[in-house]
Amino acid sequence: MKNKKKNQNKPRVVTTKTVMTMKHTGEKIAMLTAYDYLVAKYLDQVGIDIILVGDSLGNVVHGYETTLPVTIDDMIYHAKAVKRGVKNALIVVDMPFMSFQTSIDDAVRNAGRIMKEVGVGAVKLEGGEYIADIVRHLVKIGIPVMGHLGLTPQAINKFGTYEVRATTKAEAEELLRDAKILADAGIFALVLEKIPAELAKKVTQSIPIPTIGIGAGSHCDGQVLVVYDMLGLTEEFKPRFVRRYSELATTMRSAFQNFIADVKTQKFPLKKESY
Ligand code: KIV
């Protein structure tokens, strides 16, 4: 009895199985990105379900225009830092552009590196039907895969814009078909990015695994945001799907200004801040 009570207070360790179960229990899945130890630690401390080491780190950490330059070594470097801060959340790592599209062998080698060198729970791959064989193979050898459809930033040069995807009937049908194919291939969850809410609802009702939306409305089984966006650090980036829970860019600038002023006016350091 005592032991049972003790376990009830213990934070839940989230696995891909936990995430799949949440679709059926109706508990919404909360996912945010992280790229470093401290942010990952704070997310884990407050009970986030999934931490995504997204290749969005190319934009928000490294300042690239697109996610295309991000390498597998970049992903492993950041994922290792995240991993050191996490005890309970499921960590998912993005496979960057050209680390899996080239062949099943490359996908196995690179996903294998992420699993072996970092020790996370799953990888995420962007793409539809054309990656189904790769997904099937990774899942078969024991590497859980999260899918990603809709706005897939690695395909930016094909589409040319970051506008809402699958707005025509044909595109919506293709996305729904891709979602079913990926679910059949064995993905455990599917990110739906920037698609009409009604389409996301249809996909969510049509596949047995959870959908996690970003700009895909309220009917998905979970929601994800880029952590720097929701913290207000990427202040020029203002799509309607980003809700800002803080204004950290303003807070940071103000702290930096105060430090500069204190140094210039010799208000820092004080005696009590010296040895
Ligand atoms: O790279 C990323 O952060 C992502 C999320 C936007 C889902 O793929």
SS in 3 state form for the chain?
A: CHHHHHHHHCCCCCCHHHHHHHHHHCCCEEEEECCCHHHHHHHHHCCCCEEEECCCHHHHCCCCCCCCCCCHHHHHHHHHHHHHCCCCCEEEEECCCCCCCCCHHHHHHHHHHHHHHHCCCEEEEECCHHHHHHHHHHHHCCCCEEEEEECCHHHHHHHCCCCCCCCCHHHHHHHHHHHHHHHHHCCCEEEEECCCHHHHHHHHHHCCCCEEEECCCCCCCEEEECHHHHCCCCCCCCCCCCCCCCCHHHHHHHHHHHHHHHHHCCCCCCHHHCC
C-beta separation of 18 from 90 below 8 A:
yes
| Cβ of residue 224 lying under 6 Å from some atom of ligand 1 | yes
The reply to whether 193 belongs to the active site is: yes
pLDDT at 199: 98
What confidence tier does 9 reach under pLDDT thresholds 50, 70, 90? confident
The closest residue, in CA terms, to atom 4 on ligand 1 is 54
pLDDT at 7: 62
C-alpha of residue 152 to centroid of ligand 1, in Å: 9
**Cα-based angle 114, 16, 10 (whole degrees, multiple of 5):** 105
C-beta separation of 157 from 185 below 8 A:
no
The closest residue, in CA terms, to atom 1 on ligand 1 is 54
Kindly state the average pLDDT of the residues 20-47.
98
CA distances from 109 to 72, 78, 117 (A): 11, 18, 12
Give percent above pLDDT 90 in the chain.
96
**Both tokens assigned to 105:** 């062998």
| 149: pLDDT strictly greater than 80 | yes
C-beta separation of 150 from 193 below 8 A:
yes
Ligand 1 atom closest to residue 225's alpha carbon, by position in its atom list: 6
| Cβ of residue 214 lying under 6 Å from some atom of ligand 1 | yes
What confidence tier does 218 reach under pLDDT thresholds 50, 70, 90? very high
Query: Ligand 1 pocket check: which of 57, 92, 226 to mutate, most ligand atoms within 8 Å of Cβ?
Result: 226
Domains (range + CATH), the chain: 2-246 (3.20.20.60)
pTM of the predicted model, to two decimals?
0.96
pLDDT at 108: 98
| Cβ of residue 115 lying under 6 Å from some atom of ligand 1 | no
C-beta separation of 82 from 74 below 8 A:
no
pLDDT at 103: 97
Ligand 1 atom closest to residue 33's alpha carbon, by position in its atom list: 3
Dihedral (C-alpha) 165, 169, 171, 177: value to the nearest 10 degrees? 120
| Cβ of residue 226 lying under 6 Å from some atom of ligand 1 | yes
| 3: pLDDT strictly greater than 90 | no
Is the preceding peptide bond at 69 cis, omega within 30 degrees of 0?
Answer: no
Q: Which amino acid, 213?
A: G
C-alpha of residue 15 to centroid of ligand 1, in Å: 19
C-alpha of residue 225 to centroid of ligand 1, in Å: 8
pLDDT at 2: 54
pLDDT at 155: 97
C-alpha of residue 205 to centroid of ligand 1, in Å: 23
C-beta separation of 203 from 177 below 8 A:
no
pLDDT tens-digit series, residues 167-216? 999 999 999 999 999 999 999 999 999 999 999 999 999 999 999 999 99
C-alpha of residue 256 to centroid of ligand 1, in Å: 29
Among the listed residues 163, 171, 193, 273, the single catalytic one is 193
Kindly state the average pLDDT of the residues 13-23.
98
pLDDT tens-digit series, residues 87-129? 999 999 999 999 999 999 999 999 999 999 999 999 999 999 9
Sign, Cα dihedral of 18, 19, 25, 31:
positive
Q: Angle, to 10 degrees, between the axis of helix 72-84 and the axis of helix 104-113?
A: 30
Average pLDDT, the chain: 97
39: Cα separation from own chain's centroid: 13
